[in-house]
Chains A and B, each alone.
Chain A
Amino acid sequence: MSSEPILSIKNIEVLYSRVISALHGVSIDVHKGEIVSLLGANGSGKTTTCKAVSRLLEAERGEVSKGSIEYKGKDISNLTAFDMVKAGVVQVLEGRHIFGHLTVEENLLTGSFIRNADTASVKKDLEYVYDRFERIRTRRKNLGGLCSGGEQQMVAMGRAMMARPNLILLDEPSMGLAPQLVEEIFEIVKTLNEEDGVSFLVSEQNANVALKYASVGYIIENGRVVLKGDAKELSDSESVKEMYMGGGGDEVSFRDVKFYHRRKPCMV
Chain B
Amino acid sequence: MDYAFFIEVLVGGLLSGIMYSLVAIGFVLIYKSSGVFNFAQGTMLLLAALTFVSLTERMVNFWVAFAITLMIMVVLGIIIERTVMRPLANQSLLSLFMATVGLNYFLEGLAQGVWDSAVHGVNLGISNDPIFLIDKFPEMGLDIIVSYFDMAAAGIAGLMILGLSLFFTFTRTGLSLRAVSDDHLAAMAVGIPLSRIWAIVWAVTGVICLIAGLLWGDRVSVSFTLTSAVLKGLPVILIGGLTSIPGAIVGGLIIGASEKLGEIYVAEWIGGQGIEHWWAYTTALLFLMVRPTGIFGEKEIERV
List A residues at the B interface (Cβ < 8 Å): 54, 56, 58-61, 81-82, 84-86, 90-93, 97-102, 106, 109-111, 113-114, 143, 145-146, 148-149, 159-160, 162-163
Dominant secondary structure of chain A at its interface with chain B: helix
B274 interface hit (Cβ, 8 Å): no
Interface residues in B247-264 (C-beta closer than 8 Å to A): none
Contact B179 A102 (CB under 8 A): yes
Contacting chain A: which of B21-29, B180-188, B277-285? Answer: B180-188
Contact B178 A59 (CB under 8 A): no
Return B296 CB to nearest CB of chain A, in Å. Answer: 12
Contact B190 A102 (CB under 8 A): no
18 cross-chain CB contacts under 8 A = A54-B189, A56-B185, A56-B188, A59-B89, A59-B90, A85-B189, A85-B190, A85-B191, A100-B183, A102-B179, A106-B175, A114-B192, A145-B301, A146-B303, A148-B303, A149-B303, A160-B189, A163-B190
Contact B191 A163 (CB under 8 A): yes
Return A128 CB to nearest CB of chain B, in Å. Answer: 17
- With A and B bound together, what is the CA distance between A165 and B298 in angstroms? 33
- With A and B bound together, what is the CA distance between A60 and B189 in angstroms? 13
Contact B183 A97 (CB under 8 A): yes
Given A61-B90, A109-B175, A146-B303, answer yes or no on A159-B182 (Cβ-Cβ < 8 Å): no
Given A58-B90, A60-B90, A101-B298, answer yes or no on A110-B183 (Cβ-Cβ < 8 Å): no
Classify chain B: how many residues form its interface, as a range.
20 to 34
Contact B301 A110 (CB under 8 A): no
Report chain A residues within 8 Å CB of B175. Answer: 102, 106, 109-110, 113
The residue among B176, B179, B192, B298 with the most chain A CB atoms within 10 A of its own CB is B179
- With A and B bound together, what is the CA distance between A102 and B177 in angstroms? 11
Q: Which residue of B lies closest to A116 (CB)?
A: B172
For A101, give its contact among B190, B192, B193, B301 (CB under 8 Å).
B301
Q: Which residue of B lies closest to A99 (CB)?
A: B182
Q: Which residue of B lies closest to A143 (CB)?
A: B301
Given A60-B90, A102-B178, A114-B191, answer yes or no on A93-B185 (Cβ-Cβ < 8 Å): yes
For A82, give its contact among B89, B172, B193, B298 (CB under 8 Å).
B193
Return A36 CB to nearest CB of chain B, in Å. Answer: 19
Contact B301 A99 (CB under 8 A): no
Report chain B residues within 8 Å CB of A111. Answer: 190
Given A85-B190, A90-B191, A148-B303, answer yes or no on A97-B179 (Cβ-Cβ < 8 Å): no
- With A and B bound together, what is the CA distance between A111 and B186 in angstroms? 10
Report chain A residues within 8 Å CB of B188. Answer: 56, 59, 81-82
Contact A100 B190 (CB under 8 A): no
Report chain B residues within 8 Å CB of A58. Answer: 90
Report chain B residues within 8 Å CB of A54. Answer: 189
Return B184 CB to nearest CB of chain A, in Å. Answer: 7
Report chain B residues within 8 Å CB of A162. Answer: 190
Return B243 CB to nearest CB of chain A, in Å. Answer: 9
Report chain A residues within 8 Å CB of B189. Answer: 54, 56, 81, 85, 90-93, 97, 160
Given A56-B185, A59-B184, answer yes or no on A146-B301 (Cβ-Cβ < 8 Å): yes
Return A168 CB to nearest CB of chain B, in Å. Answer: 11
The residue among B183, B185, B188 with the most chain A CB atoms within 10 A of its own CB is B188
Given A54-B189, A56-B189, A59-B185, answer yes or no on A145-B303 (Cβ-Cβ < 8 Å): yes
* Chain B positions 264 through 304: 1 when the CB is less than 8 Å from some CB of chain A, otherwise 0: 00000000000000000000000000000000001001110
Closest 9 CB pairs of A and B: A85-B191, A145-B301, A97-B186, A114-B191, A99-B182, A100-B301, A81-B188, A110-B179, A82-B193
Return A57 CB to nearest CB of chain B, in Å. Answer: 11
Contact A102 B303 (CB under 8 A): no
- With A and B bound together, what is the CA distance between A54 and B182 in angstroms? 20
Given A93-B186, A145-B301, answer yes or no on A101-B90 (Cβ-Cβ < 8 Å): no
Return A74 CB to nearest CB of chain B, in Å. Answer: 18
Given A59-B90, A146-B301, answer yes or no on A99-B179 (Cβ-Cβ < 8 Å): yes
Report chain A residues within 8 Å CB of B185. Answer: 56, 59, 93, 97
